[in-house]
A and B are shown apart, each in its own frame.
Chain A
Amino acid sequence: MKRTVYRELDLSPGFLLVLGLLGLIAAAGLGAAWYMEHYGHIVTGMNNQVVWGLPHVFAIFLIVAASGALNVASLASVFNRTMYKPMARLSGLLAISLLAGGLAVLVLDLGRPDRLIVAMTHFNFKSIFAWNIFLYTGFFVIVAAYLFTQMGRGFGRFIRPAGWVAFVWRLALTTGTGSIFGWLVAREAYDAAIMAPLFIAMSLSFGLAVFILFTGRSCALSGREFGQDLLLRLGRLLGLFIAAVLYFTAVQHLTALYAAEHHDIESFILFGDSIYTTLFWTGQVLIGGVVPLILVTLPTHGVSRVAIKLACALVIVGGFVQVYVIVIGGQVYPLALFPGMEVRSSFQDGVIAGYQPSLPEFLLGIGGVALALAIAAIGMKSLRFLPESLADEAVDPQRVPRTGAVT
């Protein structure tokens, strides 16, 4: 088999421009965090009812996508799909970068980000949050080691075991992230075991979508080829994951509809007249699920390249909306202090809370995205992550060139 040749990115003006732009956005995010920290969370849209706002939506999306970005590497090392091997390094790099971006947002949104060291030295082992700190740190170490087995000389025999460990770890990581919600018995919207598998499906789908777009862009910007067949294959895989997310979303809401105590919150999200119902049906289900699913399964040759990339973009948008509906929609709904009773107080008991995301929150979140992409870009510039070519012949020399429609 032909050896894959990897090469760093050139220090082209284009690269510098992209990096400069990302740096600027990340800096704006940092500024926003400073502003929120200085004046307090009063400058955000968050309040005592909606305690996790837009930054959490960004952070959770990035963390979930991070573990999913490792898909391609897992397919290569764990499931031995040779075709994906040349992209395994990039998949690991992107996973680390996305996680770093997500965690940065999470930490900077704390009430006391200056106490990060406290979080690192005081652990309550009953807290799933504390476990997540271990899962996240472990993820960095394991994926870094896994990358090392691939990139260092003479470690080839460790690639597979390292790939396995990374694969198992990342399932644990997503389960952990989903469980943050699943454990909240008091919040009707979250109290469900389905949260963990739902989050795994979401990670597979969002992560792969980000990976496809990211790889495509990197190849295009550095003048490298990205094979048509490869893209189509990745697209079909994405279709599978989109279907899985839709399936688990259906299970999530159907089981909740049957549980009497969750009935009210379910009708609020599914059949209400709030923004969350619109976001759910239009954003999450239609734009993030049905349309991209159709796009990746459309067997039309020629337009499919665009169709798949569009599908990826829609999955990202819809996925973001999905996290928004879960995080914010679940919080605006009042806690049931006295189920079945009408409740009123000066503390917004019994009313649907309002939440208006503010500019600093958005800047912090998007800053995290920029940070993640900048880390990945710097990685590709400094080390050999990106193959010289991802053309179909390069990734799969035995391939029979296809003609006509793709199935």
Chain B
Amino acid sequence: MTTRRQFLRDSGAFTATLASGATLIAFAEAQAEDGNKSRKVRWGMLIDVANCPEGCSTCVSACSNENGWGDTGNPLTDAQWIRKVAVTDPQSKLRRSLPVMCQHCAEPPCVDVCPTGASFKRADGIVLVDKHICIGCRYCMMACPYKARSFIHEPLQNQKPHAPRGKGTVESCTLCVHRVDGGRLPACVEACAAAGHNAMLFGDLNDPETEISKRVAQHPVRKIRADLGIDPGVSYENL
């Protein structure tokens, strides 16, 4: 296993092309087959924590640029769609750093509790907030175990047309649905690969042939708070 990881790390750039190429083919397949309703796609992510250095926040800036959220100088109320979390084992002092965002749960509590249905899960597993019917009750924020959601506390400027946001509503990682629907990778995944880390892998979890499915099947992966039984779509390797 070490040798494989070593290999992946050493040949970072090469793997990046290969990985995204493979994923792109998977997209085409998935969409075609979805058209026939023969197989359901479930988009998910695998994060290799061993490849995620502590000081790096490339994915966070990429998401912030892509979707137009960011630091306005109010750390307590600013939205954070994705964040780097440092986890330390109090005994061994072993430290890990990993990105945490909406885990696009298969049984999302945020969807169950939403009174209006604004918080919803698409057929392909992506969990979104419909900004037109969100009343800003924040019940989904109370229900999410990952603190994945942010409430917009202030009027906004400079919004991105593909990621509409609005004061008084709740938002979270969309898994870059606007890119995914166009056959592209989420911004964080792309940026992580471009930076040479390749810590994030995106793909269809329901297709046994995708790289993500194979890696999830062959390696010991962990999901955060797997005990809650809500089946997150994001898995972590080497945690």
Binding site for B on A (CB under 8 A): 37, 39-42, 46-49, 51-52, 110-113, 115-116, 118-119, 122-124, 126-130, 133, 180, 183-187, 331, 335-338, 340-349, 353-354
Residues of chain B within 8 A (CB-CB) of A118 are: 116, 133, 135
Q: Are B141 and A51 in contact (CB under 8 A)?
A: yes
Cβ contact within 8 Å between A41 and B151: yes
Q: Which residues of B pack against A, CB within 8 Å?
A: 74-80, 83-90, 100, 109, 111-118, 133-139, 141-147, 149-155, 167-170, 224-225, 228
The distance from the CB of B110 to the nearest CB of chain A, in whole angstroms, is: 10
Inter-chain contact B113/A112, CB cutoff 8 Å: no
A101 CB → nearest B CB, Å = 18
Cα distance, A119 to B117, chains bound together (Å): 9
A391 to B76: give the CA distance in the assembly, Å. Answer: 56
> Could you tell me the distance in whole angstroms from the C-beta of B219 to the nearest C-beta in chain A?
19
Establish whether residues B141 and A185, one from each chain, have CB atoms under 8 Å apart when the complex forms: no
Secondary structure at chain B's binding surface: helix, strand, loop or mixed?
Answer: loop
Given A42-B153, A345-B100, A349-B85: A122 touches B117 (CB 8 Å cut-off):
yes
Contact indicator A111/B169 (Cβ below 8 Å): yes
Q: Within 8 Å CB of B89, what residues of A?
A: 341-342
In the complex, chain B residues whose CB is within 8 Å of the CB of A345: 83-86, 100
- Asked whether, in the complex, the Cβ of B151 is within 8 Å of the Cβ of A48, the reply is yes
**Contact between A111 and B87, CB atoms less than 8 A apart:** no
Contact partner, B83, options A113, A331, A338, A346, Cβ 8 Å: A346
CB of B86 within 8 A of CB of A123, answer no
Nearest CB in chain B to that of A51: its residue: B138
The CA-CA distance from A342 to B95 in the complex, in Å, is: 9
Please name the residue on chain A nearest to B86 by beta carbon: A344
Which residues of A lie under 8 Å from residue B154 when comparing CB positions? 39-40, 42
Q: A51-B142, A344-B86 known; A119 and B169 CB under 8 Å?
A: no
Contact, CB under 8 Å: B87 / A338: yes
- CB-based nearest A residue for B137: A110
Instruction: Indicate whether A124 sits within 8 Å of B116 (C-beta atoms), given known contacts A48-B77, A185-B228, A337-B224.
Output: yes
CB–CB A123/B84 < 8 A: no
Q: A111 near B167 (CB under 8 angstroms)?
A: yes
**A343's contact among B74, B75, B85, B115, by CB below 8 Å, is which?**
B85
- Assess the A119–B135 pair: CB atoms within 8 A: yes
In this complex, what residue of B is CB-closest to A355? Answer: B76
A183: which B residues are within 8 A, CB to CB? 113, 143
- State how many angstroms separate the Cβ of B159 from the closest Cβ of chain A: 15
Selected from B77, B139, B228, the residue in CB contact (under 8 A) with A42 is B77
Other-chain contact of A37, B109, B115, B143, B168 (Cβ < 8 Å): B168
Contacts of B169 in A (CB 8 A): 111-112
Q: Is the CB of A52 within 8 A of B109?
A: no
**Hey, which chain A residues are within 8 Å of B168, CB to CB?**
37, 40-41, 110-112
Which residues from A are CB-within-8-Å of B138?
A: 51-52, 111
Partner pick for A111 among B74, B86, B116, B136, CB 8 A cutoff: B136
CB pair A122 B224 closer than 8 Å: no
Chosen A-B contacts, 19 in total, with CB atoms closer than 8 Å, are A40-B155, A41-B77, A41-B153, A47-B77, A48-B147, A112-B135, A115-B133, A118-B133, A118-B135, A124-B117, A126-B111, A180-B139, A183-B113, A184-B143, A186-B144, A338-B224, A341-B90, A343-B87, A347-B147
Chain A residues closer than 8 Å to B136, beta-carbon distance: 110-112, 115
